A and B are shown apart, each in its own frame.
Chain A
């Protein structure tokens, strides 16, 4: 990359880098802030001017750095005539706006923020015009939408600003998104996202079947941005922005992005019927409609906004014609429109600033009070009207000339007549601007006594007005840049001659008609206005607002109905989906032939099976009675355990029984705080629906199980059987799988259990710190649910019966020994840390149940939290211990130890791991119990210090004392 390329990068970066400056420099005052804002713009402008001579000679300056090659996105810029013209416009006007805004914004407005947004916009806009990659262009395109959003909403306390900002973002954002689609198609057809490549591939693109979709999507982007009918409505509402923004974004630069894009893509997309009819027609309609509405607007900014819409329509129409001469006219008019329209906006800003109103009906006669402003405004407005010797005249003549020989669907007159009408209306509102604001008698009811502003405010528009006159008088001065830009647009080598007098062409006559007609129309403004007021007109903002409100209401409806929080419905959808997709997947293939027959069913097993079914059905029927259903669930669990035992899975049976016991016990305790019955909450119909879903899903799972139980398959289990003793040091392969082959799973699962214990603890903790605790304590405010729950406890005065206390006390050491036994034999016989933990937990649970929580708690020496912690850490460290021998996590080692007088026994690291399992299980279960008891104490249950409510031993002592 050469120096020029570096310059191009610098130009594109300067505004963004500069955007941080105002935010800081505002601390040094408003002048410093504005001056420093100008610095990056000036620098960029200087760099641009250094590059300008080469570009004007016809060179194209490029620069490229790869960004996202997979996408074909690179940071690549190129500067040709069109880019140069736009870049100069953006930077030049940007500089003037910086100056103007310094004097326009009041002391209360956050100026630093304003300039930051402005520079961000400037960078984005500059990016659009020098991008050589259409994806990069898209990025800058969207950035202009975003910065425009921020600038329109700059006065954030004003509702018009907020609404205008959102509307602009919605419309231009929508267009931008459509354009993403269009550009991606375009790039795909062209085989590259590089503009320079795409510009070469015009013919292939126009011939492609994807041409029309791409065209429409790209035009949607361009039309929304350039406020073409029917997307024109956002622009007037964007006028809620401060006037410098309106002048800069919404007349001079951003709204021209759409036009720019059409010009840029002109060699590729133009020249087809589709292009002509879509683009030229839209432009024509927009031009006439915009001008017509502008004529009846009393708000000066609205007038200018619609006039801008109209002129953008004009530009669009010219590009739509698809001829080289029309393209030249468009390029020239872009330049001219910029000069007079920006000047006009600034003039309006000055009027607003000085008189505190921009309502035409309250103005008039300002020429005496504000002569400088009058001069600037009048020259600019006359140029807008297309009066000779001003630049607006030149490009309008070229436009009319092109229009005069354009056929539209076979009609020779449609375009010329409508174009003349547009010009006529344009003359009318321009004259109105001059006549109703500056001419006429001086009034004495201005909201604020006007006078000319300080030079800082009028310097910028004055400079632009000078340009208006200079180009108007000596058009050849602009020939260089217009030629360069026009050549860039058309890709041809044109040598247009810009001159004032073309002879008595049709365009001249059309122009004369327009001026005379416009003047006449202004004379008849009053009756036309009342007719306009009376006519039914669709109000675009109202339609947009209603549409948006409807979409929001619809979205809200869909969302809130779908996500109504009914868990039963969520589950129903989930289950139905699973069954349906499962069935679809199943029916996409078939089963292999079964390899096993059915086994005979012994009577005992048949009974067990029947019990299971009866209990399951009974749970469904009786589930509202919670205690009963708990008992039934217990039956189901036990039957399943028996089933495991029958099917030669003693480990599973043992585990199932212990788990069953512990969960039923904990559930019983939890039920203590809940109502004893479940209320009926759903209709019969819904229950039937749910029932059907449940039966189908259950049947599906059953069928699945049936299908695979009939089929043999070679599994990895054989390896486990073969290697259990040799590699794992145990003969109980289930245990070896648990602590060795798949010890890692067990490690995860004990952590799950530990976390569950902690979560319950944390849940209860927060519960008891919140309003629930107050409900629990305060008798009066106690909820129905709890009152009912506690009522049962008062049924029995003997909470800790003697018999139970004594039995559990006796059982305790036995249970502990059983636990130890199960733990130790685990590696070779059914058992292991998990079951042992549960067994010991049951033993402890029984103490709590029999003797009360406080009594037992007082005798507890170790925190349950610590148990879990130790368990997890022991298991983890056992696993990590393998690292010391250079083997992976959880690699086991075992040895046989002979310790007289007992037999030789085995010591395995797996046992240590199992100890971790044991501790975690025990800790987790006990922590759950602890949490439950905390609720009980908060509910005001009495705390017993004695083991038994009625202790016979006390009685004996009492008697002894008596005697």
Chain B
């Protein structure tokens, strides 16, 4: 059973071939990149079906047993994340190709494949040091993608991105050092075993490690007060890259969900209070920061970036509850917000590239104004969490799950008021972009009509919005899978048995 490693190895083989054999021929690179991504999607579907049974599959690299070697762990959560990554990747890739973004700089497809490798690797590993390695892979690849096609603002924002995240990586190393020094292991399951045996009054070191790790993951998930890098990064990245980055913040969310549940989570006396205590206020402030950003935005891309930030806050508020119910809600919202962010960026790209700038001011309506308006409306409805798309269900699930007396008032107020500000912000933006522009008189000297978007350019955005619709329509089976997933996340004993015990060998 080598399927589990394929999401890592396959892109890692495609990437160098694209980069070094096909680097002078964009068509060849495109074919290979699409092939690789389609294969990845196929594997991801297979893995999801494998994991759906509820078994936790363990793949021992180098055939060394855990915790001594590195293991990959495939459970419902990992499979879900890989599937989400692959689906998003294919959508984004087609957009990048159809709009020609991929040809505006070097090595787009190589970096893209490496990026997928990094993300999938992070989702599949069962070892925190290995998680660090894949954080590095996806960070450096995403930095390359971020500055793809160049430009002053982009390179400047890219610098912020990479500096903040390298600082995060450094902290990651500190945390890992402390963790190894206090537990003597780096395997997630083994850490859970060891930490549970540490007396609560002698756990200072491991507590420091746990909280530092949480900050590291919070940097990735863009939580306040380490969210500062996100808006400029997303707003200045090329649109397909920003759309792909929709999954990057989720890596942080995933890592918290995995590590701070299994290793440090409920039932592990020395550390169980830490993440739950600190994540929640951070998430609430993040919602506020996102909502203010949406409402106050002067340009479209930052507006979307801040809406992504707000959605991360909402997601993490649910994660912070560390309960199966809330986690199920968080997972549903996670899937939703990934596609919502992606389709917003993709639609924005179609519009911005025709308007000549993303400033929120009326300019002459572009060709297909009505179509773009409809797409933007759909995407905004998705992101703002309005029905009939999945955001509304996700929001309801999260609100429903957060009923603890101490947090309910905060969470509900933040999420509901945040939604309102987001709705107002999007309505304002859409009205300026698509409605006001129709009131502008065409200049006497007719400018050449802006280029119409072809079917391939429109399809990815439409598919992304379609995913939001499907997610809502098929909420019954989806939520069933996610409920099982959430149960499995909190089944520490099962996870440990699979990884450390005799579990299914790879």
A578-B215, A755-B114 given; A708·B435 CB < 8 A: no
Contact pattern, A 584-603, Cβ under 8 Å of B = 1, otherwise 0? 11111111100000000000
B210 engages A748 (CB within 8 Å): no
User: Residue A711 contacts which of B16, B140, B181 (CB distance < 8 angstroms)?
Assistant: B181
User: Residue A872 contacts which of B15, B205, B293 (CB distance < 8 angstroms)?
Assistant: B15
A704-B178, A745-B70 given; A762·B386 CB < 8 A: no
User: Residue B295 contacts which of A157, A188, A555, A880 (CB distance < 8 angstroms)?
Assistant: A555
- Which residues from B are CB-within-8-Å of A719? 68
B106 engages A765 (CB within 8 Å): yes
Which residues in chain B, 99-117, are within 8 Å of chain A measured between CB atoms? 105-107, 110-111, 114, 117
- Which residues from B are CB-within-8-Å of A146? 381, 386-387
A908 CB to closest chain B CB (Å) equals: 12
B163 engages A770 (CB within 8 Å): no
User: Is there a chain A Cβ closer than 8 Å to B49's Cβ?
Assistant: no
With A and B bound together, what is the CA distance between A272 and B435 in angstroms?
46
Contact pattern, B 184-228, Cβ under 8 Å of A = 1, otherwise 0? 111100100000000111111101101110110001000001101
Contact pattern, B 401-426, Cβ under 8 Å of A = 1, otherwise 0? 00100000000100011011101100
A551-B295, A704-B174, A740-B62 given; A715·B434 CB < 8 A: no
A570-B164, A707-B205, A876-B9 given; A892·B435 CB < 8 A: no
With A and B bound together, what is the CA distance between A165 and B435 in angstroms?
11
Segment at the A interface, from B38-46, B90-98, B145-153, B460-468 = B145-153
Segment at the A interface, from B26-34, B242-250, B346-354, B389-397 = B389-397
B140 engages A589 (CB within 8 Å): no
Which residues in chain B, 280-306, are within 8 Å of chain A measured between CB atoms? 289, 291-298, 306
A567 engages B438 (CB within 8 Å): no
A552-B295, A713-B181 given; A68·B438 CB < 8 A: no
User: Is there a chain B Cβ closer than 8 Å to A854's Cβ?
Assistant: no
With A and B bound together, what is the CA distance between A887 and B12 in angstroms?
20
B400 engages A720 (CB within 8 Å): no
A582 engages B208 (CB within 8 Å): yes
User: Is there a chain B Cβ closer than 8 Å to A620's Cβ?
Assistant: no
Closest to B397 in A: A71
Which residues in chain A, 28-68, are within 8 Å of chain B measured between CB atoms? 66-68
Segment at the B interface, from A81-89, A808-816, A861-869, A936-944 = A861-869
User: Is there a chain B Cβ closer than 8 Å to A573's Cβ?
Assistant: yes
User: Residue A741 contacts which of B64, B159, B416 (CB distance < 8 angstroms)?
Assistant: B64
A591 engages B296 (CB within 8 Å): no
Q: Which of B13, B15, B130, B434 has the most CB of A within 10 A?
A: B15
Segment at the A interface, from B73-81, B254-262, B270-278, B451-459 = B270-278
- Which residues from B are CB-within-8-Å of A442? none
- Which residues from A are CB-within-8-Å of B207? 585-586, 588-589
User: Is there a chain A Cβ closer than 8 Å to B442's Cβ?
Assistant: no
Segment at the B interface, from A4-12, A169-177, A403-411, A456-464 = A169-177
Closest to A864 in B: B20
Closest to A583 in B: B208
- Which residues from B are CB-within-8-Å of A713? 181-184
A921 CB to closest chain B CB (Å) equals: 14
Q: Which of B150, B156, B328 has the most CB of A within 10 A?
A: B150
With A and B bound together, what is the CA distance between A506 and B163 in angstroms?
80
Closest to A892 in B: B62
Closest to B156 in A: A565
Closest to B478 in A: A68
User: Residue B150 contacts which of A140, A554, A744, A767 (CB distance < 8 angstroms)?
Assistant: A767
Segment at the B interface, from A178-186, A389-397, A521-529 = A178-186
Closest to A873 in B: B16
- Which residues from A are CB-within-8-Å of B431? 153, 162, 165-166
A720-B68, A761-B107, A766-B150 given; A563·B15 CB < 8 A: no
A708 engages B202 (CB within 8 Å): no
- Which residues from B are CB-within-8-Å of A142? 386-387, 392
Closest to B206 in A: A589
A931 CB to closest chain B CB (Å) equals: 11
With A and B bound together, what is the CA distance between A31 and B381 in angstroms?
32
- Which residues from A are CB-within-8-Å of B214? 581
With A and B bound together, what is the CA distance between A178 and B121 in angstroms?
42
A13 CB to closest chain B CB (Å) equals: 12
User: Is there a chain B Cβ closer than 8 Å to A577's Cβ?
Assistant: yes
Which residues in chain A, 560-575, are within 8 Å of chain B measured between CB atoms? 560, 562-563, 565, 567, 570-571, 573-575
A486 CB to closest chain B CB (Å) equals: 31
A555 engages B296 (CB within 8 Å): yes
Closest to A866 in B: B20
B9 engages A755 (CB within 8 Å): no
A297 CB to closest chain B CB (Å) equals: 26
B393 engages A68 (CB within 8 Å): yes
User: Is there a chain B Cβ closer than 8 Å to A888's Cβ?
Assistant: yes
A716 engages B475 (CB within 8 Å): no
Contact pattern, B 127-147, Cβ under 8 Å of A = 1, otherwise 0? 001100110110011011001
- Which residues from A are CB-within-8-Å of B63? 882, 887-888, 891
B274 engages A585 (CB within 8 Å): yes
B165 CB to closest chain A CB (Å) equals: 11
- Which residues from A are CB-within-8-Å of B118? 748
User: Is there a chain A Cβ closer than 8 Å to B367's Cβ?
Assistant: no
B181 engages A763 (CB within 8 Å): no
A169 engages B423 (CB within 8 Å): yes
User: Residue A574 contacts which of B111, B202, B219, B438 (CB distance < 8 angstroms)?
Assistant: B219
A728 CB to closest chain B CB (Å) equals: 9
User: Is there a chain B Cβ closer than 8 Å to A714's Cβ?
Assistant: yes
A66 engages B396 (CB within 8 Å): no
Which residues in chain B, 155-191, are within 8 Å of chain A measured between CB atoms? 155-156, 159-160, 163-164, 167-168, 171, 174, 177-178, 180-187, 190
A555-B293, A769-B150, A869-B21 given; A170·B178 CB < 8 A: no
- Which residues from A are CB-within-8-Å of B151? 770
A113 engages B107 (CB within 8 Å): no
B163 engages A571 (CB within 8 Å): yes
A749 engages B23 (CB within 8 Å): no
With A and B bound together, what is the CA distance between A890 and B61 in angstroms?
6
User: Is there a chain A Cβ closer than 8 Å to B53's Cβ?
Assistant: no
Which residues in chain A, 136-184, are within 8 Å of chain B measured between CB atoms? 138-140, 142-143, 146, 149-150, 153, 156-159, 161-162, 165-166, 169-170, 173-174, 177-178, 180-181, 184
Contact pattern, B 361-385, Cβ under 8 Å of A = 1, otherwise 0? 0000000001000000100010000
- Which residues from B are CB-within-8-Å of A174? 420
A555-B421, A748-B133 given; A157·B438 CB < 8 A: yes
- Which residues from A are CB-within-8-Å of B61? 743-744, 888-891
B13 engages A762 (CB within 8 Å): no
With A and B bound together, what is the CA distance between A127 and B438 in angstroms?
33
- Which residues from A are CB-within-8-Å of B231? 563
User: Is there a chain B Cβ closer than 8 Å to A774's Cβ?
Assistant: no
B324 CB to closest chain A CB (Å) equals: 10
A25 CB to closest chain B CB (Å) equals: 17
B19 engages A181 (CB within 8 Å): no
- Which residues from A are CB-within-8-Å of B203? 589
A156 engages B434 (CB within 8 Å): yes
A238 CB to closest chain B CB (Å) equals: 14
Given contacts A170-B424, A180-B416, A570-B228, 17 further A-B contacts (CB under 8 A): A139-B387, A146-B381, A177-B417, A551-B295, A567-B159, A567-B163, A574-B219, A578-B171, A581-B278, A585-B210, A590-B202, A711-B181, A714-B184, A748-B137, A752-B137, A872-B13, A889-B61
* 27 A-B contacts (beta carbon < 8 Å): A66-B476, A67-B475, A71-B393, A139-B387, A142-B386, A157-B438, A161-B435, A170-B420, A173-B424, A556-B297, A556-B298, A563-B231, A571-B164, A574-B167, A581-B214, A713-B182, A713-B183, A716-B186, A741-B68, A747-B12, A748-B137, A751-B137, A758-B19, A865-B20, A869-B20, A882-B63, A890-B62
- List 10 A-B pairs, minimum CB-CB distance, nearest first: A869-B20, A766-B150, A556-B296, A715-B184, A555-B296, A708-B181, A156-B435, A759-B144, A748-B133, A585-B211
